[in-house]
Amino acid sequence: MKFLNEKNILLLHPLGYQVEAAANDISRKANIMPPLGLASIAAYVDRAGFNSSILDCYAHPDADGKLLEILRDQRPSLLGISCTTASFHDSVRMAELAKSELPEIRVAFGGSHVSALKEKVLEFSPVIDYAVIGEGEQTMLELAQLAGAEPTEVGGLVWRAADDSLVNNGYRSDALVLDDLPFPAYEKLEGYPDAYKLPIFNYPKAPNSSCISSRGCPYSCSYCDRSVFQRTFRYNSADYLYRHLVYLKERFGIRHINFYDDQFTFHRGRVEEFCQMMIDKPLGMTFNCAVRAEHVDKELLTLMKAAGCWMVSLGIESGDEQLLAQHRQNADLDLLAETIRTIKSCGIRTKGLLMMGLPGETEDSIRRSMEYVYSLPIDDFNLAKFTPFPGSPIYENIHDLGSFEEDWPKMDCMHFQFVPKGMEKQQLEKLFIQFYKKHFQRNRVLLGYVSMLWKSPDSWLRFIASAGQFLRFALSNKRYGDS
């Protein structure tokens, strides 16, 4: 048995597919987000006296050799892997590689997929010792402090006992106070911030980064997994948020932040206070955020613009109100349209977030979505291929609503794994390409991207550098877009 260092912890973010495919992955060219959850866990355990390392295979794909190097040099006693549904199989492969080098290392899996499936995760592979359900900071710290003893009192954990039986300790009852957390350990991310990129044309300045200032969402849409934070909603104070941005600017030179919150403006008071601080004590930074139409108005948006808000994203999901009402609360497309026009009138860019292929979707509903989006002053939009994830309400009866090929590595919102009743996959693919194609053929949209030459010059440099790859992607989908 090889000696393990009980003070060393390795946290791993898997690539999720074969390394040779990474060079041709258009989504990686457009957007690489830092693994903020792992960076938060790293800062939390280090504050308690441990020594953590982070290996981000998504930002640095050819990482098998690096994993073995870390294992040999540091001999960590605990390996934490954060995985999605799509990256789960690759996570298992990396865990197997780790145990082949250090058989006694303890392996904990976490993330939304793990919180949703709980015991099923450990049933999938014997290399997984623990499944962390819910937030990971306290649970990972307590696992490290146990040094291999049975975690009978560790909340938020499913674990494999000595007799190979599975024990579920249930969710933690002691929710974290977010203002008590240290800032994420960004410095442990190799190449940060330059190795990480926000979506092209979604920022004015570089270097830029992402930040999470709240956890959870009070809504219960059919397609959203709420297994990690359940129905809770907690947030950092305005003061903590401002100090966080000061830290990112002074330590790393960050000039633009994307707040990766589900609902940035849900608590209006803290947003107003934060914006006033950004106005009174300017940092020379801009920011993006996501909102719901019910939680913004012209007064708040005007304040946000003055504080440096550059772009706002809204979840539209579908331009068919009857379909939308089946999947989310307050399905009011008139309110959404009015809010988008208000955002634009305040001088803020708008981005619409949509899905295609929801249960109940038809070709008519998709064409209504096209007409709705094209009628609005939207600068950018993201159209995802609906994927029924474990942990979402719709997942429970998804096989009654259409055909579903539950192939986890392809469940990344970039494949039509689910096809609604009455539709065919090829039909969805054709309409998907048409949706994007017609958007980019509109004069107002084209002029908007031309204006990015001076509004976001770094985006254009990235686009030009990867123009060949973007063109190959467009040509590979041309057969679906012709009509």
Cis bond before residue 126 (omega within 30° of 0): no
In a domain, 81, yes or no: yes
- Look at the chain and report how many structural domains it folds into: 2
> Please, are residues 97 and 127 in contact by the beta-carbon 8 Å criterion?
no
- CATH at residue 415: 3.80.30.20
Rounded-to-integer distance, Cα 23 and Cα 29, Å: 9
Q: Let me know if residue 24 belongs to a domain.
A: yes
* 275 domain residue, yes or no: yes
Q: Is residue 11 domain-shared with residue 117, that is, in the same domain? A: yes
Could you tell me the sign of the dihedral formed by the alpha carbons of 263, 181, 258, 268, in that order?
positive
Same domain, 269 and 404: yes
Q: Is residue 289 included in any domain, yes or no?
A: yes
Q: Do 37 and 162 belong together in one domain?
A: yes
Angle between helices 268-280 and 298-307 (to 10 degrees): 40
Q: Which residues contact 110 (CB under 8 A, 6 or more apart)?
A: 37, 80, 81, 82, 83, 131, 132, 133, 136, 140
Say how far apart CA 377 and CA 373 lie, in whole Å.
8
CATH of the domain at 70: 3.40.50.2300
Residue 381 and residue 297 in one domain: yes
Nearest to 161 by CA among 129, 134, 123, 120: 129
Last residue of a domain, one of 168, 188, 208: 168
Specify whether the CB–CB gap between 336 and 320 falls below 8 A. no
Residues 211, 123 share a domain = no
d(CA 16, CA 88): 7
What's the full length of the chain, in residues? 483
Both 325 and 416 in a single domain? yes
Question: How confident is the prediction along the chain (483 residues), in pLDDT tens digits per residue?
Answer: 458 999 999 999 999 887 766 666 767 767 899 999 999 999 999 999 999 999 999 999 889 999 999 999 999 999 999 999 999 999 999 999 999 999 999 999 999 999 999 999 999 999 999 999 999 999 999 999 998 899 999 999 999 998 989 999 999 988 899 999 999 999 999 999 999 999 999 999 999 999 999 998 888 788 887 777 767 789 999 999 999 999 999 999 999 999 999 889 999 999 999 999 999 999 999 999 999 999 999 999 999 999 999 999 999 999 999 999 999 887 899 999 999 999 999 999 999 999 999 999 999 999 999 999 999 999 998 999 999 999 899 999 999 999 999 999 999 999 999 999 999 999 999 999 999 999 888 888 889 888 998 999 999 898 887 766 655 555 455 544 444
